[in-house]
C-alpha cells in the first residue's frame, strides 16, 4: 500500500513550532490522510536532505532558520521568493523542486480578513527592514499601495531595501517617524519591538488618522502594546498570529491539493499553544 503523503518542517536546531498543529488540524477536518513532521537538519546536511526529499517520502516542506536563503538557491523560486530573497515553502511540480515565500500572501490575506478595504490607503508606514519587512513591502507593492515609508533604526538597511523596490518605497530615519503618522493609512510593525522580553514600540497611535489600520507581525504576546493601544483608539488591527495561520494555507494546498480555511476554531487551538 502506498504511504499517505507527508510534508515536513526543516530547521536547525529543532525548535518548537505551531506548524504541525496547524497542518494536522486541516488534515483532520478535511478528512485527508497525510502527515506533517519536524525534521532537525544541520546546515551541512541541508542540500542532501532536500535533494532526497521525495525519496524520503515527502511531497514538500516548510523551511525555517537557518535554511531559507539556501532553499531559494537550491530550488526553482517563484517571483515572491526571489523578491524576498528567501524561500519558506518547497513542493514538486513536474518532478522539479519549486519554492515560494508564503509570508507575502500570509500578510496580505490576513489584512484582507481583518480590515477589508485597507488597500484604499495611499501611504503605508512599515517599521523594520529585515526579511519580514521585505515580504511585507513586496505584498504592499503587489497590491498597488502608492507610497511605502520604510522606517528603520539603521537607516542604511532601510535605504538598501528601498533601493531594491524602486521609487514607491521611501527610506525614513527612525526619529522622524512621528511626522509620518498623521497621513499613514496603514502602519505595520515588522521589528521585534513589543515581543516578549523586548522593549515595547514607543509610538503615539493618537497621531494616526481615525481610519488607519495597524498590523503587528509579533504574536508573542498576541496583544502587543501597539495593537492594544490601536484597539483602544478604535482602529482596525491585524495580528501576527493571523499572518502565521494565513501563510500556512498555501503550503497545505500545494502538498495536499485542497485549499484550507483559517477558522476561529484553528485560531483558538493555536492560541492555546502560544
Per-residue contact string for residues 111-130; x = within reach of ligand ATR by CB under 6 A: -----------------xxx
Closer residue to ligand ATR, CB minimum distance, 101 or 237:
101
Task: Return left, alpha or beta for 161; rule: phi > 0 is left, psi -120 to 50 is alpha, else beta.
Answer: alpha
User: Grid coordinates in use for 107?
Assistant: 500578510
196 is catalytic: no
Is 198 annotated in some ligand binding site? no
User: Grid coordinates in use for 195?
Assistant: 515581543
- Which residue has its beta carbon closest to ligand ATR? 130
Helix axes 19-30, 240-256, angle to 10 degrees: 50
Closer residue to ligand ATR, CB minimum distance, 130 or 209:
130
Per-residue contact string for residues 189-208; x = within reach of ligand ATR by CB under 6 A: -xxxx-----x---------
Asked if residues 200 and 193 have their Cβ atoms less than 8 Å apart, the reply is yes
Per-residue contact string for residues 137-166; x = within reach of ligand ATR by CB under 6 A: ---------------xxx--x---------
Task: Return left, alpha or beta for 236; rule: phi > 0 is left, psi -120 to 50 is alpha, else beta.
Answer: beta
| Integer CA distances (angstroms), 107 to 69, 112, 133, 139, 218, in order | 20, 9, 10, 8, 12
Is 219 annotated in some ligand binding site? yes
Minimum distance from residue 129 beta carbon to ligand ATR (Å): 5
Which range touches ligand ATR (CB under 6 A), out of 3-11, 30-38, 184-192, 234-242? Answer: 184-192
H-state helical runs in 200-239: 225-232
Closer residue to ligand ATR, CB minimum distance, 97 or 245:
245
Catalytic residue, chosen from 3, 68, 120, 236, is 68
Parallel, antiparallel, or unpaired for β 89-93 and 123-127?
A: unpaired
Q: Which residues bind ligand ATR (CB under 6 A)?
A: 128-133, 152-154, 157, 190-193, 199
Question: Catalytic residues, which ones?
Answer: 68
Amino acid at each position: 500500500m502506498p504511504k499517505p503523503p507527508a510534508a515536513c518542517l526543516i530547521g536547525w536546531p529543532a525548535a518548537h513550532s505551531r506548524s504541525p498543529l496547524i497542518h494536522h488540524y486541516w488534515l483532520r477536518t478535511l478528512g485527508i490522510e497525510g502527515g506533517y513532521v519536524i525534521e532537525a537538519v544541520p546546515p551541512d546536511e541541508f542540500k542532501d536532505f532536500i535533494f532526497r526529499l521525495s525519496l524520503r517520502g515527502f511531497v514538500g516542506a516548510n523551511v525555517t532558520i537557518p535554511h531559507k536563503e539556501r532553499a531559494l538557491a537550491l530550488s526553482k523560486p517563484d517571483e515572491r521568493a526571489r523578491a524576498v530573497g528567501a524561500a519558506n515553502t518547497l513542493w514538486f511540480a513536474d518532478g522539479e523542486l519549486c519554492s515560494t515565500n508564503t509570508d507575502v500572501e500570509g500578510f496580505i490575506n490576513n489584512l484582507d480578513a481583518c480590515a477589508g478595504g485597507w488597500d484604499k490607503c495611499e501611504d503605508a508606514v512599515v517599521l523594520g527592514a529585515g526579511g519580514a519587512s521585505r515580504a511585507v513591502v513586496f505584498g504592499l507593492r503587489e497590491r498597488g499601495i502608492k507610497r511605502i515609508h520604510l522606517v528603520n533604526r539603521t537607516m542604511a538597511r532601510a535605504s538598501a531595501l528601498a533601493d531594491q523596490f524602486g521609487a514607491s518605497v521611501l527610506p525614513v530615519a527612525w526619529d522622524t517617524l512621528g511626522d509620518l503618522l498623521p497621513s499613514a493609512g496603514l502602519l505595520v510593525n515588522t521589528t521585534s519591538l513589543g515581543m516578549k522580553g523586548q522593549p515595547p514600540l514607543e509610538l503615539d497611535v493618537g497621531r494616526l488618522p481615525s481610519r488607519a489600520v495597524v498590523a503587528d507581525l509579533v504574536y508573542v504576546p498576541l496583544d502587543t502594546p501597539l495593537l492594544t493601544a490601536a484597539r483602544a483608539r478604535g482602529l482596525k488591527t491585524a495580528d501576527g498570529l493571523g499572518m502565521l495561520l494565513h501563510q500556512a494555507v498555501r503550503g497545505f494546498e500545494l502538498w495536499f491539493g485542497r485549499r484550507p480555511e483559517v477558522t476561529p476554531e484553528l485560531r483558538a487551538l493555536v492560541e492555546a499553544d502560544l
